[in-house]
Amino acid sequence: MRAGSDSRAAFLGDPGLVGMSVLLALLGIAMIYSAGRVELPSVATGAWRRQLMWLAIAIVAFFSVTRVPLRWLEWATPWIYTLSVLLLLVVLAVGSGPNTRSWLRFGGISFQPAELAKLGTVLMLARFFAGRRDTVQRLAELWKPVAIILVPFFLVLAQPDLGSALIFGVILICALYWAGVPLLTIFMLVSPGVSMILGFSAAIWGVWFLILIGVLYVRRPFFIEALFVALANIAAGATTLPLWNRLATYQQNRLLVFLNPEIDPRGAGWHLIQSQVAIGSGGWFGQGYGQGPQKRLSFLPEQHTDFIFSVVGEELGFLGAVVLLLAFTWFLRRVLVLALRAPAGYGSMVAFCFFGVWFAHLVINVGMTVGLMPITGLPLPFLSYGGSFLLMMFIGIGIVARVATER
């Protein structure tokens, strides 16, 4: 390797990763600019300027983070985690937002504590697993990581923001997976969640339960664990309907509309139908940058935040969408490779968990625009307008870059 390349790598961690991040963020600003070009007055108009400002801040934050040794970070982890949990409590008390209490405002700046909590939880779980030399085998040994994610999970769920809350579950699964926890154990841990989703239909839940029993019978875990898992599944399945009734109406509608957007085409189904129409009418090459009629005439809602990818689909077409998806894939794969190359331990775990979180955001957000996922309000990394999200993204990338330099 040449010296220049080495020094650049030391400076940026991984030039490819950083370059792709900045490229995606700039593309995001271009799409936010287009999203603001609409016929009706919209908050999206001018948003690109604010996003550009946030990108500048995010890049400064990125360089600052790459200067922080992982040791220091690992040392600070409990404090970061505690701070994020406290902010989640604060936001429940004084937060604001359209449907949820998820925003904290300091002067002119809004901030979502849930974004910080994702970071804090990733670091906290990584610290937990880095501290262990042996691999977790027993379900009961997992109470600590489960507790680590359940605290922010319930606090975010109380906002209520189901989509963001589920991300904490994703972080846990990623951490367990990367720590080498047996897949059966992960399966058993996750199974009550599946039961809860399938609990709407006794028949479907019954099938799931039989599969579960079958797996337990074949793989033979400890009897007491198997019994516990079975009972947890029964309990979860039984609580589905009572829990459903406690969901906010808009959340219920979002989930129902996911199953059939036509039940409420002017209301809750509107978002999904308009998004599909926007993407579908893009065709191979799209309507041209800035030209999408669905966006331009304000048929497409949340066009600069949650549904920014629909603008991509409408204006840049199938080819644009695929190129962008491939760019994301390359980015995520890069994070994964860095996680693998890093020595096992804190840094590697942090990188892999970020991979999982960003991957989940990508799949859930883009899947939502085409109707593969329910509408949850999870933003798309780099593209969706939102300053605190972009800042946290680049802080995360900064940590991953630091992991790359320390290997």
Partner 1 sequence: MTMRVADPVRPRRATGATVVLLGAVGVLVAAFFQLQVVGRSEFELKSRDNRLRPITIPPARGAIYDRRGRVLADNVPGYSLSLLPSPVDSARATLERLASYLALDSADVEAHLGRFSRRPQSALVIADNLSFQQVAAIEERRPEFRHTVIDTHPRRRYPSGPAIGHVIGYVGEISEDELESESFQDYDAGRIIGRQGIERQYEASLGGTPGVRYVEVNARNMIVSEFGGKSTVEAVTGTDMILGLDLTLQEYADSIFPEGMRGGLVALDPVNGEVLALYSYPTFDPNLFIGGISTDDWTRLRDDPDRPLLNRATTALYPAGSTWKLVMATLAMRNGSLGIGSVMPTSCNGALQYGRRAFRCWKPNGHHVLDLSGAIKESCNVFFYQVGLRLGLDPLLEGVNSLGFNSATGIDLPTETSSRFPITREWYDERYGPRGWTESVILNLSIGQGETEQTLLRMAQFYSALALGESPVIPHLIRNEALDQRRESWTLNLPEERRLELLGALKRVVNEPGGTAYGSRLQNWTAAGKTGTAQNPHGDPHSWFVGFAPAEAPRIVIAVIVEQGHPDNQRSLAVPLANQIMNRFLELEGVEPNPPLPIPRRVVVPLNTADE
**Positions in the binding site for partner 1 (CB under 8 A):** 39-40, 70-71, 135, 177-178, 180, 274, 276-284, 293-294, 297-299, 313, 317-318, 321-322, 325-326, 328-329, 332-333, 336-337, 339-340, 343-348, 352, 355, 359, 363, 366-367, 370-372, 406
Query: Can you name the residues that pair with 106 across neighbouring β-strands?
Result: 109
Report angle CA 133, 83, 347 to the nearest 5 degrees. 30
Task: Closer to partner 1 by CB, 36 or 199: give it.
Answer: 36
Rounded to 5 degrees, φ, ψ at 43 are: -65, -20
Task: Closer to partner 1 by CB, 228 or 299: give it.
Answer: 299
Q: How far is the CB of 178 from partner 1 (least distance, A)?
A: 6
Q: How far is the CB of 316 from partner 1 (least distance, A)?
A: 10
Task: Closer to partner 1 by CB, 199 or 396: give it.
Answer: 396
389: helix, coil or strand?
helix
Q: At what angle do helices 15-35 and 387-405 cross, to 10 degrees?
A: 170
Task: Closer to partner 1 by CB, 56 or 326: give it.
Answer: 326
Tokens 């926007």, located at residue: 278
Task: Closer to partner 1 by CB, 236 or 304: give it.
Answer: 304
Which CA distances in Å does 320 have to 77, 283, 285, 290?
39, 10, 7, 13
Q: How far is the CB of 83 from partner 1 (least distance, A)?
A: 24
Task: Closer to partner 1 by CB, 290 or 367: give it.
Answer: 367
Which CA distances in Å does 172 have to 8, 80, 123, 358?
34, 17, 11, 14
Rounded to 5 degrees, φ, ψ at 42 are: -145, 150
104 sits in which H/E element: strand 104-106
**How many Å separate Cα 49 from the centre of its chain?**
25
Q: How far is the CB of 349 from partner 1 (least distance, A)?
A: 10
- Fill in the amino acid letter for 77: T
Task: Closer to partner 1 by CB, 25 or 339: give it.
Answer: 339
Q: How far is the CB of 141 from partner 1 (least distance, A)?
A: 17
Q: How far is the CB of 232 from partner 1 (least distance, A)?
A: 25
Q: How far is the CB of 175 from partner 1 (least distance, A)?
A: 12
Ordered DSSP codes for 146-194: HHHHHHHHHHHHTTT-HHHHHHHHHHHHHHHHHTT--HHHHHHHHHHHH
Q: How far is the CB of 347 from partner 1 (least distance, A)?
A: 8
Task: Closer to partner 1 by CB, 113 or 317: give it.
Answer: 317
